[in-house]
Amino acid sequence: MSFMTMLSKKFSLPAQDEALPGRSDAIVPGEAHFVNGRSLQGPYPETFKTVLFGMGCFWGAERLFWQLPGVHVTAVGYAGGHTPNPTYHETCTGRTGHTEAVFVVYDPDQTSLSDLLKVFWENHDPTQGMRQGNDTGTQYRSAIYVGSEEDLALAEQSRDTYQSALKAGSHMASITTEIRQLDEFYFAEDYHQQYLAKNPAGYCGIGGTGVSCPTGL
């Protein structure tokens, strides 16, 4: 395979028949949340809700959300692709179709999806396609994966609102964020979970456009 062919594949999603085969055994978190001690897998309180965000490298993105009031637990993993139970190294080849994602479990009585979406939009650049800053490839694409039609509509509305804010702020590029209902989320390996709490000096690629997201989405 030529270098240019490899490069083009890094920026395009594989079809299902092109994806790596994966495996039947899932990666199961062996530890509780490093910061708050709660179970990553649950069970979660039945009134709590979940959402997944892809916004580049998942290390820094996860730290944003575990600090928020109303967030019960966070975890990192892989979503939006074809390969069952992928590993980190497989996801980084671009041949699983997954993006690095942060799984957020939250109490809707304490925080709202709109509040979480505001943090999402303001802390990365959702116009960059298959990259985020210097991190390049399909695994770094911007994404929102939700669990219901109601949340899907809210996420799409928030995208349109933020697109208008970007244009008003002279940021004319179009948002490329993938927004859809979630098919499957796969936990990442233990060493990725709450990485920046375990490694405070570790890499964090978080950076936004500088444009605020309007409240009351």
Q: How far apart are CA 206 and CA 98, in angstroms?
A: 19
Burial class (CB in 10 A: 0-12, 13-18, 19+), 92: middle
Residue 43 gets the label, from left (phi > 0), alpha (psi -120 to 50) or beta, of beta
204 carries an active-site annotation: no
Consecutive H or E run containing 115: helix 113-122
| DSSP 8-state code for residue 110 | T
Q: How far apart are CA 164 and CA 153, in angstroms?
A: 17
**Which are the catalytic amino acids?**
57
